[in-house]
Amino acid sequence: MAQDAPTTIHLKDYKPAPYVPGDLFLNFSLEPRATRVTSRLQFSANPASKEKNAALVLTGERIKLVSVKLDSKALAASDYVFTDSDLTIPNIPAAPFTLEIETECDPVGNTALSGLYQSSGIFCTQCEAEGFRRITYFYDRPDVMTRYTVRMEANKAACPVLLSNGNFQEGGDIAGTDRHFAVWHDPHPKPSYLFALVAGDLAGVHGSFTTMSSKTVQLGIYVEKGKEDRCAWAMESLKASMRWDETAFGREYDLDVFNIVAVSDFNMGAMENKGLNVFNDKYILALPETATDLDYTNIEAIIAHEYFHNWTGNRITCRDWFQLCLKEGLTVFRDQEFSSDLRSRAVKRITDVKTLRARQMPEDAGPLAHPPRPNAYIEINNFYTPTVYEKGAEICRMMKTLIGEKAFRKAMDLYFERHDGEAATVEDFVACMADASGRDLSQFFKWYEQAGTPHVKVTTHYDAKAKTFDLTLAQKTAPTPGQADKQPMHIPLGLGLVGPSGEDMALDLEGVGSLNAPIIELTEEKKLFRFRNVTARPVLSLNRGFSAPVILQENVSPEDQLFLMGRDKDTFNRWEAGQSLGKSLIIANLAALRDKLPPPRSKGYADALQKTLADTTLDAAFKALMLGLPTEADIAAAIAKDVDTDLVLQSRNRLRAELGAELKDSLLAIWKDTEERGAYAPTPENTGRRSLRYAALGLLAAGAPKIAVDLIQRDLAKASNMTAEIGALSALVGIDAPETNLELENFHARHAGDSLLVDKWFSLHSQVATPGAAARIEALMGHPDFRLSTPNRVYALIGGFTAMNLSGFHAADGEGYRVVADTILKLDKTNPQVAARLATGFRSWRLMDEARRKAATVQLERIVATPGLSRDCFEIASKTLKG
């Protein structure tokens, strides 16, 4: 793709298409190197369009145009104009008119994995966001919805299974040939990005589900032959999702069949095509000996997410791609609620906030910051971001907090009723929330339009004589690229005033009275909240449950933090107090290291953790989270400028070593108590027990490495499930010992040939934070198992390196940056989407010290200046460099 003048697309330029398609018939004659596609449909004038007698302009990319027929008459080459991005027919008869187009594409040559491609011999499609245009010329935009009938034919031996969206209609052999065919019809109008086709030699695992109105739905999961025994958990998760959407939202499934296909080469996690979801196989395949607890919970959540899209995304879709968070934010929120209902709500919330802090907040604070609903883009594939997904979900959560559970459900019912079958906007969605609750959400809407994470400065004053507690909150959002001036946001903050005995005190707010719900709303730039009848000095517990995605700037004494760690009845804030205290200790430690001073005292922190571990009322998963210190990236973000990542690593390691040594006996006791008993089950209870075991082992590895190496090797020798193997190895990669390499090699030897486990091996290597990390990564790219064409492998090694190895990627000599830039440039030639995603790893370069910033600039400039760079990579790299 030439890179001279990439076009920017703006929200304000939205216009409805001049014509609307009637039912679409597609015929595929599947061949690996030359697949013929015929599309036949009727177009009518679009009443919503102001354009009259407009030319018909359809998009198409990297396909060969074979023929065009308008009202059954073949067009001559002079009757149309076609470029590498569209087909224009200027002289259109009065609508309605029919169009028949024949095109040809090359699935094997399609290394970008967008459109129709082959993965391990299986024909497969990925059309979101703009892949359909690589199949045929069409209005490839989400607001153009129609009913699809798809006929496909292929060699019967190579492709015994032929699948598409909707319900199966007919199929059979084609007489006199070695081919067969199938016809699928989807009765629900859909946009082209939800089209899917799969053909190949797949094994099917079948089940069924009876819906709330007693309809039977046939369920199928299709995988590579020999992997059928790894589908049981996915099938169970699918049924649980279908049941939950009926109970929680009254949403019933609407086709006779629901199929899932797992493929090994896939750019994203999974795709919600109507009635035919396509998954990255790492989110389907699971056996106790091949998948970890985390894999099991991810599979459950991602199956749910894609299934929930059937209503939020498919039945109601997006008017244009700027509205992406309408379907994604809402569906992430729904899958978070699903996991919270099935597992521990408190643990789920903490895990989600950790993800938000690791992925979204750095984006919001860096050069790639954008509003959840962006107003411009160059390449839409670059906007499948944590901001659109995770912050989008936070916005839905805040609306629920503001209007309450009952009104939220009413608003969702209204949304489904009002917009079913439509391509909607974020405004439409928020209007339902406002109409169902009677609340004015106009200021709240800023969350969709304003980028950046608000900082809320907290000051408090307790007046013992007047028995008042003054809470002053001041909000500020820093400028982000393209948005210099920020306006105050509407921020719902959960809170508690914790009394000396650990009990919540009554909330009597001046001007309001007794609060019905323990929530205050900050809408001004600055506001004083005065609480009355506060009989003793309280400890403030603010933003309980992380009710708003903001950063609190509080001056809390270590004593109060320790108090909240042990006493806050809000589980999230108990964990949060531990994180804040850990963060301040690591930062103080870092200053001491730099100035060669003795480290700060961490005894109180260790004691508080000790108490947490001994508390029998707390569940194991929560204790495991309490043992986790803030990440290196969290620390870098808190320091925010001139960061020396080596010092961050050393300082964090030093605190971990101290805590590990201090807590040694308790950690050993945990190791003894949490041994595997009985058969593996991914239940919340067992998962929690194992997470505590490996969190304890990790901390022990820091504090008593010799003892830990011994225990880890014992664990590895008798590991009966993958969680045990990965848990032990993750603890081991933190130790610089000969055993580390030995055990990593043993793991590879045990699991060579199992691609998902080889990915895990690369991922473990990517995290080894000893000096020379970049050179090791480069050497691993030369390993016979490394494949640049498989996104999972690239994400495991290079993605893992940029995200989980702060000191290695941001090494002062610039080698980490160079190795990643080399990979991006190599990959950009074949798969620009994945290359661009790797490039986002550079987003925090401005936090670093001068030497690192210089080194990052050199590599970013090199990427941007590369001739023939894709628009995907150009957009990310140039914005990262400028921002």
Count the alpha carbons within 13 Å of 867 in the hemisphere toward its beta carbon. 0
394 catalytic per annotation:
no
Minimum CB distance to Zn ion, residue 129 (Å): 12
The C-alpha atoms of residue 11 and residue 65 are separated, in whole angstroms, by 31
Q: Closest CB to Zn ion among 331 and 580?
A: 331
DSSP annotation of 397:
H
Minimum CB distance to Zn ion, residue 308 (Å): 8
For residues 712 and 731, the answer to whether their CB atoms sit within 8 Å is yes
The C-alpha atoms of residue 457 and residue 379 are separated, in whole angstroms, by 36
State the first-to-last Cα distance of the chain, in angstroms, to the nearest integer.
Answer: 24
Q: Closest CB to Zn ion among 270 and 711?
A: 270
Both tokens assigned to 859? 């590599």
Minimum CB distance to Zn ion, residue 567 (Å): 39
- Give me the catalytic one of 61, 153, 300, 306: 306
For residues 339 and 308, the answer to whether their CB atoms sit within 8 Å is no
User: If you search the block for the tokens 């008593």, which residue do you land on?
Assistant: 704
403 Cβ neighbours under 8 A, 6+ residues apart: 411, 433, 436, 437, 439
Q: Closest CB to Zn ion among 224 and 328?
A: 328
3-class state of residue 443 by DSSP: coil
Minimum CB distance to Zn ion, residue 266 (Å): 14
* Residue 729: alpha-carbon gap to chain centroid: 25
Strands (E), 465-600: 468-476, 491-498, 508-509, 513-514, 519-522, 526-531, 539-542, 551-553
Q: Closest CB to Zn ion among 148 and 193?
A: 193
Q: Closest CB to Zn ion among 125 and 612?
A: 125
The C-alpha atoms of residue 643 and residue 627 are separated, in whole angstroms, by 25
Residues 290-329 that bind Zn ion (CB under 5 A): 328
DSSP annotation of 849:
-
Q: Closest CB to Zn ion among 324 and 369?
A: 324
Both tokens assigned to 527? 């506001």
Q: Closest CB to Zn ion among 327 and 544?
A: 327
Minimum CB distance to Zn ion, residue 140 (Å): 19
3-class state of residue 552 by DSSP: strand
Residues 814-873 that bind Zn ion (CB under 5 A): none
Minimum CB distance to Zn ion, residue 255 (Å): 19
Minimum CB distance to Zn ion, residue 331 (Å): 5
The C-alpha atoms of residue 856 and residue 654 are separated, in whole angstroms, by 28
Distances in whole angstroms, Cα of residue 702 to Cα of each of 116, 184, 655, 729: 49, 58, 9, 14
Q: Quick check: bond before 158 cis, omega within 30? A: no
Q: Closest CB to Zn ion among 372 and 630?
A: 372
Minimum CB distance to Zn ion, residue 310 (Å): 11
Give the per-residue contact string, 19-58, with Zn ion (x = CB under 5 A; - = no).
Answer: ----------------------------------------
The region, left, alpha or beta by phi > 0 then psi within -120 to 50, assigned to residue 841 is: alpha
12 Cβ neighbours under 8 A, 6+ residues apart: 375
For residues 298 and 292, the answer to whether their CB atoms sit within 8 Å is no
Nearest one of 270, 272, 267, 268 to 253, comparing CA atoms: 272
For residues 488 and 523, the answer to whether their CB atoms sit within 8 Å is yes
226 CB neighbour count, 10 Å cutoff: 8
Minimum CB distance to Zn ion, residue 309 (Å): 6
The C-alpha atoms of residue 56 and residue 105 are separated, in whole angstroms, by 22
User: If you search the block for the tokens 């699971």, which residue do you land on?
Assistant: 286
Nearest one of 462, 490, 486, 456 to 474, comparing CA atoms: 456
Q: Closest CB to Zn ion among 348 and 846?
A: 348
Minimum CB distance to Zn ion, residue 115 (Å): 19
Residues 534-553 that bind Zn ion (CB under 5 A): none
DSSP string spanning 619-639? -HHHHHHHHPPPPHHHHHHHH
Q: Closest CB to Zn ion among 154 and 194?
A: 194
Both tokens assigned to 687? 């998962």
3-class state of residue 428 by DSSP: helix
Minimum CB distance to Zn ion, residue 71 (Å): 39
Residues 328-347 that bind Zn ion (CB under 5 A): 328, 331
- What are the backbone angles phi and psi of residue 319, rounded to the nearest 5°? -65, -40
Burial classification of residue 515, based on how many CB atoms lie within 10 Å of its CB (0-12 exposed, 13-18 middle, 19 or more buried): middle
The C-alpha atoms of residue 737 and residue 140 are separated, in whole angstroms, by 55
Cα angle, residue 843 at apex, residues 837 and 846 outer, rounded to 5°: 160
For residues 790 and 830, the answer to whether their CB atoms sit within 8 Å is no
416 CB neighbour count, 10 Å cutoff: 17
Minimum CB distance to Zn ion, residue 384 (Å): 9
The C-alpha atoms of residue 656 and residue 619 are separated, in whole angstroms, by 22
Minimum CB distance to Zn ion, residue 697 (Å): 35
Q: Closest CB to Zn ion among 309 and 693?
A: 309
Q: How many chain residues touch Zn ion (CB under 5 A)?
A: 2
User: Which residues here bind Zn ion, judged by CB under 5 A?
Assistant: 328, 331
The set of catalytic residues is: 306
